[in-house]
Amino acid sequence: MNTLRLPWPDKRLSPNARHHRLAVAPIRKAARHEAMWACKAAKMYYPHLRDVGLHLRITFHPPDKRRRDLDNMLASIKSQLDGIADVIGVDDSMWGLTILRGDVAKGGCVLIEVVPKP
């Protein structure tokens, strides 16, 4: 179907950052809107798959070779995933996920490939 390329998540979105929720709220909101606009630009809207569900293949391309846990990277993009769910018309409770670690990329990025559930 489509692949989104999102920027590397702000380090304050990491669950290990432990910032106060009110301090992180505007960052989460901006990340959510960023993903929403990326979906709209890619014309991603799949209401016909509302009952079938989707599968997201998420590949993290970190900005450097530091060690990172996949579960923390996934938690860092929760706001972006919520933004994607807002636009595509399929609730995230109907998603399957594959999480991968890709090669280092300058500045880092997250590639999200959206396909129908097998």
Q: Write the burial class of residue 81 (CB in 10 Å: 0-12 exposed, 13-18 middle, 19+ buried).
A: buried
Task: Report the chain's mean pLDDT, rounded to a whole number.
Answer: 90
Sequence letter at residue 108: G
pLDDT, mean of residues 72-93: 92
CATH of the domain at 33: 3.30.1330.70
Note whether 109 and 61 are within 8 A (CB). yes
pLDDT at 112 over 80: yes
Note whether 90 and 54 are within 8 A (CB). yes
Number of folded domains that form the chain: 1
**pLDDT band for position 63 (cuts 50, 70, 90):** very high
pLDDT of residue 14: 85
Q: In this predicted model, what pLDDT tens digit does every residue of 22-59 receive, in sequence order?
A: 888 999 999 999 999 999 999 888 877 777 788 999 99
Q: Find, among 78, 87, 80, 89, the residue nearest to 35 by Cα.
A: 80
What's the whole-model pTM score? 0.89
114, HSE (Cβ side, Cα atoms, 13 Å):
25
pLDDT of residue 1: 66
**pLDDT band for position 69 (cuts 50, 70, 90):** very high
Structural domain span for residue 22: 2-116
pLDDT at 91 over 90: no
